[in-house]
Chain A
């Protein structure tokens, strides 16, 4: 188990001895069994591991959707475990971007409206919202599809709408749950290149769950989960 060397800079994500237990007594499921993990700002991390290894639970905690049972989770030094529901919602609103598994776009809603959704909750005025949403769609190459609903778009296009929605707020951390899960290799490559460019050009920290080892090459660091613990944690450039 490696931890990044302590520097003067605060890590954006810091987990100390985090465990998560669902249920109680004999039926209790230990999803995480004491994780120590630090992610620095600007990193591109892939998270891998078999299902049930705790990677999704870990992602939910990083995404401030869930809180640890024991241990502490600090986001930019803020203790998320002690936050209220609304405080965590605010953190998600202003600092996090999500690319959910299976796109999770609003059906019967145009691509443009899907993309501008996070800005509505930030109280951005309408015209500014429109402009930024169009810009985000242009960035993912869908400016001509802005008025199509998800049902009228291909899987790759839907995923790009989801990406546009995730980065429109310019989040600190972008969490992606199998963003290439349902796509062929060409579309997967396009998506990965988009994520890489956001990481490089905007300095957005990316944490991505994937099953495909060849997607991990885009990342600067690779974390493997096994049985609720971090199994291996290394940068792809380094040796195992």
Chain B
């Protein structure tokens, strides 16, 4: 009986293709709009999260300066760290895998006729560990080179490309300011960061070399720290803060003149931003779903009005009120399901294409697919049902007279 009703409904749907396709179109557009938008929003969030964690998810960063923003003018600038501070952290705090004191400057890198402005970072091999850089060719620093501040350097992929092109740079000397510096290694590319800067555009030299020959002071502008897996970064943050307060002689009740940040904190800030973005996209999509719903509503209302005479005929030859209603309801359900399925297929295709071009991961969210489907289907059923009920309750004589 149910199969027969569904079969008859499909028959009735095919009988008026234009009206049926218009009804379906509303559902299709609604569903097909929501799915790609939300999928791409989720994809962007996943992408940003994975990029941030590629910076090193166990990473902490200590830099001088007061919390939040550096106040200008009125306050004396916070003193820089020294290499001894990094040594103290390494010595006294447990649960760490690497501690990398860093300082940096900006310089022209020159080789032959090629000239490239880049940042020069002075640090140790620990920097490669903490920031998860991989050596592509050559080697990292030896402890001797680090201690002596030998004139050797490791090139980021961009610098290598700009200065040497396809040529092998190993063993060749480049010039940084007045310093001649031998290339001992190159790094594997990480590409652009989430924020659009080129992560590969730097030259890594031993910290001591940078301090003595390029910047001319003993300052360490920041310390990168990597925690061992499973160790709470929160606890380490507290330990480092206590140690630094002691070393920098900060009295009780005084504010820190340095700041310890961890990647989780940064990641949290960024993901909450992208979540807002996804919600915004979702809201836009919801509007299109609503508009689609109104489309369905109109077509259903018109359809039932148009079919009043048909309802009259059916009632006159002995159809019960509930039978007429069931017929319309089943028609609406079949149409809505059909439209919903087309919409899901279209939406997922559009999402896959969009994600492909934006180079994002494809995140399939079953909830949003179901939600879009149920909403459109629900609108189709509700707005098919109420006018049909009204019509089924008509006096058959009047319904027959309807033009």
Residues on A lying within 8 angstroms of B by beta carbon are 60, 63, 65-66, 85-86, 89-94, 96, 98, 100, 104-106, 108-109, 113, 117-118, 120-123, 126, 165
**Interchain nearest-CB distance for A24 vs B (Å):** 17
Whether B315 and A120, one on each chain, are in contact in the complex, defined by CB atoms closer than 8 angstroms, is no
**CB closest chain-B residue, reference A93:** B318
**Interchain nearest-CB distance for B1 vs A (Å):** 8
Whether A108 and B16, one on each chain, are in contact in the complex, defined by CB atoms closer than 8 angstroms, is yes
Within 8 A of A (CB), among B270-316: 309-310, 312-316
Contact of B316 among A65, A86, A109, A122 (CB under 8 A): A65
For B312, list chain A residues within 8 Å (CB): 104
A66 to B400, CA, bound (A): 13
Whether A118 and B317, one on each chain, are in contact in the complex, defined by CB atoms closer than 8 angstroms, is yes
* Leading 3 A-B pairs by shortest Cβ distance: A93-B318, A92-B318, A108-B15
Asked if B396 lies at the interface with its beta carbon under 8 angstroms from chain A, I say yes
**CB closest chain-A residue, reference B8:** A120
Asked if B162 lies at the interface with its beta carbon under 8 angstroms from chain A, I say no
Q: Is the interface of B mostly helix, strand, loop or mixed?
A: helix
5 contacts between A and B (CB under 8 A): A60-B397, A65-B396, A66-B397, A89-B321, A106-B310
For A100, list chain B residues within 8 Å (CB): 313, 316, 400
Whether B396 and A117, one on each chain, are in contact in the complex, defined by CB atoms closer than 8 angstroms, is no
For B309, list chain A residues within 8 Å (CB): 104
A89-B319 CB under 8 A given contacts A100-B400, A108-B16, A109-B15? yes
For B320, list chain A residues within 8 Å (CB): 86, 89-90, 121
**CB closest chain-A residue, reference B316:** A98
Residues on B lying within 8 angstroms of A by beta carbon are 1, 4, 8, 11, 15-16, 309-310, 312-321, 323, 395-397, 400
Whether B313 and A89, one on each chain, are in contact in the complex, defined by CB atoms closer than 8 angstroms, is no
For A121, list chain B residues within 8 Å (CB): 314, 317-320, 323
For A92, list chain B residues within 8 Å (CB): 316-318
For B395, list chain A residues within 8 Å (CB): 65-66
A94 to B318, CA, bound (A): 8
**Interchain nearest-CB distance for A103 vs B (Å):** 10
**Interchain nearest-CB distance for B398 vs A (Å):** 10
**Interchain nearest-CB distance for B21 vs A (Å):** 15
Given contacts A89-B315, A100-B400, 10 further A-B contacts (CB under 8 A): A65-B316, A89-B318, A89-B320, A90-B318, A90-B320, A93-B319, A96-B318, A106-B310, A106-B313, A117-B317
**CB closest chain-B residue, reference A118:** B317
A201 to B230, CA, bound (A): 96
Whether A126 and B314, one on each chain, are in contact in the complex, defined by CB atoms closer than 8 angstroms, is no
For B4, list chain A residues within 8 Å (CB): 126
A93 to B320, CA, bound (A): 9
A117-B15 CB under 8 A given contacts A85-B321, A89-B319, A104-B400? no
**Interchain nearest-CB distance for B331 vs A (Å):** 14
For A113, list chain B residues within 8 Å (CB): 11
For B317, list chain A residues within 8 Å (CB): 92-93, 98, 117-118, 121, 165
For B323, list chain A residues within 8 Å (CB): 121
A85 to B324, CA, bound (A): 14
**Interchain nearest-CB distance for B309 vs A (Å):** 7
For A98, list chain B residues within 8 Å (CB): 316-317
A65 to B399, CA, bound (A): 11
A104-B321 CB under 8 A given contacts A65-B396, A120-B8? no
**CB closest chain-B residue, reference A60:** B397
A117 to B8, CA, bound (A): 11
**Interchain nearest-CB distance for A96 vs B (Å):** 8
A91 to B318, CA, bound (A): 7
**Interchain nearest-CB distance for B396 vs A (Å):** 5
For B316, list chain A residues within 8 Å (CB): 63, 65, 92, 98, 100
For A89, list chain B residues within 8 Å (CB): 315, 318-321
Whether B397 and A65, one on each chain, are in contact in the complex, defined by CB atoms closer than 8 angstroms, is yes
Whether B321 and A86, one on each chain, are in contact in the complex, defined by CB atoms closer than 8 angstroms, is yes
For A90, list chain B residues within 8 Å (CB): 318, 320
A104 to B317, CA, bound (A): 11
**Interchain nearest-CB distance for A235 vs B (Å):** 30
**Interchain nearest-CB distance for A145 vs B (Å):** 18
**Interchain nearest-CB distance for B327 vs A (Å):** 10
A165 to B313, CA, bound (A): 11
A91 to B315, CA, bound (A): 12
**Interchain nearest-CB distance for A115 vs B (Å):** 11
**CB closest chain-A residue, reference B313:** A104
For B315, list chain A residues within 8 Å (CB): 89
A109 to B310, CA, bound (A): 11
A29 to B319, CA, bound (A): 30
**Interchain nearest-CB distance for A139 vs B (Å):** 18
A72 to B314, CA, bound (A): 26
A126 to B1, CA, bound (A): 11
**Interchain nearest-CB distance for B9 vs A (Å):** 12
**CB closest chain-A residue, reference B318:** A93
A93 to B319, CA, bound (A): 7
**CB closest chain-B residue, reference A97:** B317
**Interchain nearest-CB distance for A56 vs B (Å):** 9
A123 to B323, CA, bound (A): 12
For A65, list chain B residues within 8 Å (CB): 316, 395-397
For A86, list chain B residues within 8 Å (CB): 320-321
A155 to B312, CA, bound (A): 21
A126 to B320, CA, bound (A): 20
